[in-house]
Amino acid sequence: MLSVKGGGTYLTVSGPGCSDCIFEINLADGSLQRNWGDLGFSTVYGLAHWAGVAYGFSNSGSAFAIEFSGNSVVTTPIEIPPLPQA
């Protein structure tokens, strides 16, 4: 779940026809404001917001930027370099 000061509150939801969709909810009453659609990544366990950009993190180790565009969501994978070997 992600809440942005001055913005929306979002969470990921899995179910039939959606490996992981991002929903915008009304934090005051928990009602669904909008289903932005499938993120294109499954088992998304983390959401974050920094410097005006939303990010997602999946169980497989993928990280991606999330852009809310028109009536849908666009994700851009982020390359994470491997940790140096000790």
pLDDT tens, residue by residue, 15-47 = 888 889 999 999 889 999 999 999 999 899 999
Q: State the pLDDT at residue 35.
A: 92
Contact (Cβ atoms closer than 8 angstroms) between residue 26 and residue 14: no
Sign of CA dihedral 26, 27, 32, 35: positive
For the 2-78 domain, the top CATH level (class) is mainly beta
pLDDT at 82: 80
**Which residue do the tokens 């982020």 mark?**
78
Each residue of 43-82: pLDDT tens digit? 999 999 999 899 999 998 899 999 998 888 999 999 888 8
Q: Domain limits of the chain? A: 2-78
pTM for the structure as a whole: 0.84
Residues in the chain: 86
CA distances to 17, 77, 85, 86 from 2, rounded to whole Å, are: 23, 19, 33, 35
